[in-house]
Amino acid sequence: MTPQSTFMIVAPVRGGELQKLRALLAGMNKSVGLADPDNELLPFGAFERLHMARFVIVESITGDEIKAYGKQPRPWQPVLAFLGDIDGDRLAFFAELARKAEAGLQQIFAHCEGFTKAFDLLSWMLAHNIEPAANYVNWLGRTVKQVREEAALHRCLTEYLQQIVVESGRDNPRVLRQKLLSHVEMQKHAGLLKLSPEEPTPLAWRIRNGLHKIGIPLVLLLLSPVFLILAPFFALRLRLLERSDPELFIRPSREHIEALAYLEDRDVSNQFNVFGDIKPGLFRLLLFKLLMLLTDYVARHIYKRGFLTRIRSIHFARWVFMDNNRRAFFASNYDGSHESYMDDFINKAGWGLNLAFGNAVGYPTTRWLVKQGAEREQQFKYTQRRHQLPSQVWYKAYPDLTAVDLARNSRIRKGVEIRQADDQAIRDWLGEI
Amino acid sequence: MTTTYSSDFPFDDLQGLLRFGHRHLKDSCFLLLRVADAKAAKQWLADAPVSSAIQNGSRPKTALQIAFSVAGLRALGLRESVIGDFSDEFISGMAGHESRSRRLGDVDGNSPEYWAWGGGEQQTPHVLLLLYAEAGKIAPWRKKAQGKPFAEAFELLAELPTDDLGAIEPFGFVDGISQPELDWAGTQAIDSHGRDGFSNLLAVGEVVLGYRNEYGQYTVRPLIDPMHDPGAALLPAAEDRPGLKDFARNGSYLVLRQLGQDVPGFWQFIDKASGGDATQREQLAAAMVGRQRDGRPLLPPAAAEIPGIPADDSLNSFNYLSDPAGMRCPIGAHVRRANPRSGDMPSASGCIFSRLLKILGFGLNRHDQDLIASTRFHRLLRRGRPYGPLLTPEQAVKADAPAAERGLQFICLVANISRQFEFVQNAWMVNSKFAGLQQERDPLLAHRQPLNDGTPTDQFHRPDPAGPVQTVAHLPQFISVRGGAYFFMPGLSAIRYLAALPTQGDQPS
């Protein structure tokens, strides 16, 4: 199994360069909202291990909201963030980036503070990479290559199944399956289909992952007496803050929403970025950090097979602390329209949203961390739109495919490789094609 | 259809359309108007015989309902500070932005530039007048309702055709069967954690502004401080902000779309796809619609009674729990897309532990389970009327079937256009990935444009117990959008407020 990893290269944009940078990035798009996979600066399509990537100029458009807490907003110099999700190891991917797109990346990063061509691009990128506090991958181990091979397999099976149903009817599932399997074999033989076997899981990753899996609960267990002692104080302080935090019911401007919506629904999937302040105070920060630790843990060890609680439309997502833990950035790739993404979340996993974002300035008031919050539907929708930033460039390696499609394609492939238990199982398999 | 409730709901301030479909009034006339003279328009409005939702024993012989677009409210002189509190989609309009058109599927041949009305600034109606009368009596009612200053006040942009086709729509199917039952008396608790299954009873605030919606919240709407605007004194008070007057209370957003239906095209395609066999043709058409032509559902009655649907309502007391794969009623069938009848949780859960597992996303029996949840947040109260000469399917399949303008004046009433109408249209109707489907949009309503990378979306799939799905490919488009706009249908006191607006200049505020 090839584990996925993530990268996010962040550097401040030099004063006065913002417009030029925007124009340069816009040139990488093929059409509104969608990157050109063959663009000259960074030909995304040439990177076989790259699932999704984006360039975002992270600006503080809601910086004033912290005034409601009696704090002066801190200055924020806009940063360029280049982030993405890849198969395998980050270092190897960066090396590939530096090899295949050095000139283009240099041209882009030249708009950033302190970057010159004299630097070694690879080490500069490594030095400017920030780790997410929590990261979510829809399906651990599913590679771009696999996605593409399985999509091709599905297409091939669909076509051939229709043909053989006409020829020999639909009533004998075993015959149909046999015919499909021999067709697949022939296509493979002719080099038209490929189903690469899984790569062995890297040993170092397995050790690290195993230690993480045991280590975090162990540490929490060891600390549990401390948590127990702190619990009443925690509860008191939490409710005090939840009751006294200012309620920000601010409607985002129509222009802002229209600019964001203009980029959306160009593919069956969309990109999403939000950026804002963390609620002031050590309590909120520590709580946020703890919740992110747990989010990261469950995403890594539990929610790695196509669903994040009841939500099955997210491909990748990450939470990142920035500005010395004063601000947080969230980015995701999701299926369907923005409205349906939000509604799905509010209705299916509002409690999860509350946990993950309740410590951010502007989030609707929660009770006991999980209750209310997102259920204040309109206020929640206002706040997330207000904090949302457009992606200047967004790339997805498998257009037209949703996470549900990818899972189905994998099941179909499994049905080719593994014999079904009975006729009903074969029928179910045929029904998915 | 309507039940009398012993509730003290202020029906006298509601327009009748929110409560009645006026079905017994067979004749109707839908007028799109532009305000020519604001003063005359307000003068007419002050005396307009707008029908309220009050029930006083005998059924009315006529009805008049009225709604305004944002341009119409501006033309009457409503202040921008009030208008600004309406929803974004109402303010920018159905055809107001390319992004909205893309989401609604108003692309290619459906795009607003080709619309007969509603597509451009000059084509945008200000006022929608809905007139209803008993058969053959619409002309005198129209004359009476229009009254004296009418001709001076308004300019007729379009007169939308409507015809009495019985209870059916032009393709030949009984229409308008499934409607949410508004919970006027507030009998159903609005608790987001207490309603796992599907209920047809809907919080009033999902359709009428100024009341709690299914989230228990008040939808954002224009509230006016009577200290700064004495004229607002006649408006009802805002339930959630007692010091303020609620301009939108007892009002609703009204979505109007004129949908042209290619009846011969529909039946001839289906006939061909069924090899000319009349029985198969009927089956395929029913599978696409999700009901038989006479309205019967494709599923047996639900095991348990559905709140808001009488158990003996054989046309409506069903849900899709017994047919998760769509063997009886395809997942992509029109009525299943439009109202998936799903509850908040994937299945009625047993003990606390299994419930918790489900909340956490575990314990699903099927891959396609729980993709579409919480239908209650996406309901529409439909009030449309068909138009065009009747053409039976038997006539329509013939090659020489007479072509004519046929279609539906689709009307729905909602409190939140984006969460209700736009969501249903986008996420459920035109979405080719609805509930995990592939390569198909709504078989009746949607366009057939391929996806970004060329994946076709012009198919329709019928799951089959034998295994392989039955695919119908290359569906043409059966419906074209001819026009559309978003309106606000105010309560009666808000109409009086509008009629009393000063004609020139802003009020001090």
Q: Tens digits of per-residue pLDDT, A208-265?
A: 999 999 999 999 999 999 999 999 999 999 999 999 999 999 999 999 999 999 999 9
Closest CA in chain A for residue B431: A336
Same domain, B234 and B122: yes
Task: Give just the sign of the alpha carbon dihedral B242, B244, B250, B255.
Answer: negative
Show residues of chain A in contact with B451, CB under 8 Å.
Answer: 267-268, 399-400
**Chain B residues 320-359 with CB within 8 Å of chain A:** 325, 344, 346, 358-359
Same domain, A74 and A215: yes
* One-letter amino acid of A331: A
Quick check: B129 pLDDT over 50?
Answer: yes
Q: What percent of chain B has pLDDT over 70?
A: 96
For the segment B468-491, the average pLDDT, to the nearest whole number, is 97
Domain enclosing residue B335, as ranges? 257-477
> Per-residue pLDDT tens for B382-407?
999 999 999 999 999 999 999 899 99
**Mean model confidence pLDDT for chain A:** 96
Quick check: B2 pLDDT over 70?
Answer: no
Same domain, B405 and B450: yes
* CA dist., res. B250 & res. B238, Å (int): 11
Same domain, B373 and B442: yes
What is the pLDDT, as a whole number, of residue B59?
Answer: 87
Is B299 inside any structural domain? yes
Look up residue B220 and give its two tokens.
């954002």
- Give me the number of domains chain B comprises: 2
**Chain A residues 64-103 with CB within 8 Å of chain B:** none
Show residues of chain A in contact with B91, CB under 8 Å.
Answer: 254
Q: Which helix (H) or strand (E) holds B101?
A: helix B98-104
Tell whether B419 lies on the interface with A, counting CB pairs under 8 A.
Answer: yes
> Which position has the token pair 């037209």?
A400
| Residue B64 DSSP label | E
The interface pTM score, or ipTM, of the predicted complex is: 0.96
For the segment B427-436, the average pLDDT, to the nearest whole number, is 97
Is B25 inside any structural domain? yes
Same domain, B61 and B145: yes
Same domain, B161 and B266: no
Same domain, A67 and A205: yes
Same domain, B388 and B295: yes
Show residues of chain B in contact with A378, CB under 8 Å.
Answer: 217, 219-220
Contact A199, A1 (CB under 8 A): yes
> Per-residue pLDDT tens for A379-417?
999 999 999 999 999 999 999 999 999 999 999 999 999
**Does the beta-carbon distance from B418 to A335 stay under 8 Å?**
no
Of B438, B99, B146, the residue nearest A400 (C-alpha): B438
pLDDT band with cut points at 50, 70 and 90 for residue B437: very high
* Mutation for testing the A interface, residue in B432, B437, B438, B470 having most A CBs under 10 Å: B438
Rounded to a whole number of angstroms, the distance from the CA of B162 to the nearest CA of chain A is 33
Show residues of chain B in contact with A257, CB under 8 Å.
Answer: 88
> Per-residue pLDDT tens for B150-206?
999 999 999 999 999 989 999 999 999 999 999 999 888 776 666 788 999 999 999
CA B115 from centre of chain: 19
Q: Indicate the residue of A176, A336, A407 with minimum beta-carbon distance to B467.
A: A176
What is the pLDDT, as a whole number, of residue A210?
Answer: 97
Closest CA in chain A for residue B439: A400
Same domain, A256 and A373: yes
> Per-residue pLDDT tens for A16-30?
999 999 999 999 999
Same domain, B305 and B270: yes
Of A349, A242, A323, A244, the residue nearest A287 (C-alpha): A242
> Which position has the token pair 């309220």?
B52
Is B187 inside any structural domain? no
Task: Give just the sign of the alpha carbon dihedral B180, B185, B187, B193.
Answer: positive
Rounded to a whole number of angstroms, the distance from the CA of B345 to the nearest CA of chain A is 8
Same domain, A47 and A124: yes
Contact B41, B150 (CB under 8 A): no
Show residues of chain B in contact with A295, CB under 8 Å.
Answer: none
Q: Indicate the residue of A257, A343, A405 with minimum beta-carbon distance to B377.
A: A343
Of B261, B238, B233, the residue nearest B249 (C-alpha): B238
* Mutation for testing the B interface, residue in A38, A162, A310 having most B CBs under 10 Å: A310
Quick check: B3 pLDDT over 50?
Answer: no
Same domain, B240 and B262: no
Same domain, A28 and A111: yes
Show residues of chain A in contact with B436, CB under 8 Å.
Answer: 404, 408
Is the pLDDT higher at B3 or at B315?
A: B315
Q: What percent of chain B has pLDDT over 90?
A: 86
**Does the beta-carbon distance from A427 to B373 stay under 8 Å?**
no
* Mutation for testing the A interface, residue in B92, B104, B196, B215 having most A CBs under 10 Å: B215
Same domain, A107 and A186: no
Same domain, A96 and A178: no
Same domain, B31 and B103: yes
Is B207 inside any structural domain? no
Same domain, B246 and B392: no
Same domain, B102 and B234: yes
pLDDT band with cut points at 50, 70 and 90 for residue B349: low
Rounded to a whole number of angstroms, the distance from the CA of A266 to the nearest CA of chain B is 7
What is the pLDDT, as a whole number, of residue A236?
Answer: 96
Same domain, A350 and A408: no
Same domain, A160 and A90: no
Same domain, A383 and A417: no
Is the pLDDT higher at B55 or at B12?
A: B12
Show residues of chain A in contact with B373, CB under 8 Å.
Answer: 310, 344, 347-348
**Chain B residues 420-449 with CB within 8 Å of chain A:** 422-423, 426-427, 431-433, 436, 438
> Per-residue pLDDT tens for A354-378?
999 999 999 999 999 999 999 999 9
> Per-residue pLDDT tens for B197-217?
899 999 999 999 999 999 999
Quick check: B506 pLDDT over 70?
Answer: no
Q: Indicate the residue of A170, A311, A343 with minimum beta-carbon distance to B419.
A: A343
What is the pLDDT, as a whole number, of residue B100?
Answer: 97
Same domain, B249 and B380: no
Is B198 inside any structural domain? no
pLDDT band with cut points at 50, 70 and 90 for residue B364: confident
Quick check: B6 pLDDT over 50?
Answer: no
> Which position has the token pair 């494709």?
B298
* CA dist., res. A370 & res. B508, Å (int): 45
Q: Indicate the residue of A170, A340, A348 with minimum beta-carbon distance to B464.
A: A170
Is B271 inside any structural domain? yes
CB burial of residue B465 (10 Å; 0-12, 13-18, 19+): exposed
Cα–Cα distance list, B301 to A351, B251, B333, B341, B347 (Å): 34, 35, 18, 13, 17
Same domain, A205 and A71: yes
Q: Which helix (H) or strand (E) holds A234?
A: helix A203-244
Domain enclosing residue A220, as ranges? 4-141+201-396
Of B254, B221, B253, the residue nearest B238 (C-alpha): B221
For the segment A277-301, the average pLDDT, to the nearest whole number, is 97
* CA dist., res. B154 & res. B151, Å (int): 6
For the segment B331-344, the average pLDDT, to the nearest whole number, is 96
- SS3 (DSSP) at B108: helix
Tell whether B467 lies on the interface with A, counting CB pairs under 8 A.
Answer: yes
- Flag the least confident range among A288-302, A330-344, A386-400, B300-314: B300-314
- Give me the number of domains chain A comprises: 2
Q: Indicate the residue of A176, A337, A404 with minimum beta-carbon distance to B103.
A: A337
Q: Which helix (H) or strand (E) holds B468?
A: strand B467-472
pLDDT band with cut points at 50, 70 and 90 for residue B348: low
* One-letter amino acid of A370: V
Q: What percent of chain A has pLDDT over 90?
A: 97
> Which position has the token pair 């040439």?
A46
Show residues of chain B in contact with A426, CB under 8 Å.
Answer: 467
pLDDT band with cut points at 50, 70 and 90 for residue B5: very low
**Chain A residues 246-305 with CB within 8 Å of chain B:** 251, 254, 257-258, 261-262, 264-268, 303
- SS3 (DSSP) at B13: helix
What is the pLDDT, as a whole number, of residue B55?
Answer: 86
Contact A394, A331 (CB under 8 A): no
Same domain, A305 and A407: no
